[in-house]
Structure 1
């Protein structure tokens, strides 16, 4: 079997959801680890923290959008 090739990450061309994920990783100090070794290098605790913050921010954005629509 061929080895799995890692894609180079272009931080300038990310989808909004991916952008949020990388932004949170940077805020928590995990971005260097992710860029050098990939997301698989994070512990369950680290990735869980990122996922929790993504969920929290999505809820906040949804509340803001609903408030602006009224």
Structure 2
């Protein structure tokens, strides 16, 4: 019998991660091989852009 996957609650980081991956043209690769199939450079780029976006959002909240 096949186990049902737990429905994961999407966090802000998850939403940003997918959004940025799509902007960088990596979404097809992620759907094919998963997040583990990305190179360190690709993962780092996504992580860096997430950090930049989160800082921008924080600045907007402060002003």
| TM-score bucket (shorter structure) | 0.7 to 0.9
User: Is 2:8 the counterpart of 1:20?
Assistant: no
TM-score of the superposition, structure 1-length normalised? 0.75
**Higher relative contact order by CA 8 Å / sep ≥ 6: 1 or 2?**
2
Aligned length: 57
Give the alignment partner of residue 50 of structure 2, picking from 46, 54, 61: 54
TM-score of the superposition, structure 2-length normalised? 0.82
**Structure 2 counterpart SS, 1:14:** coil
Moved over 4 A (4+): none
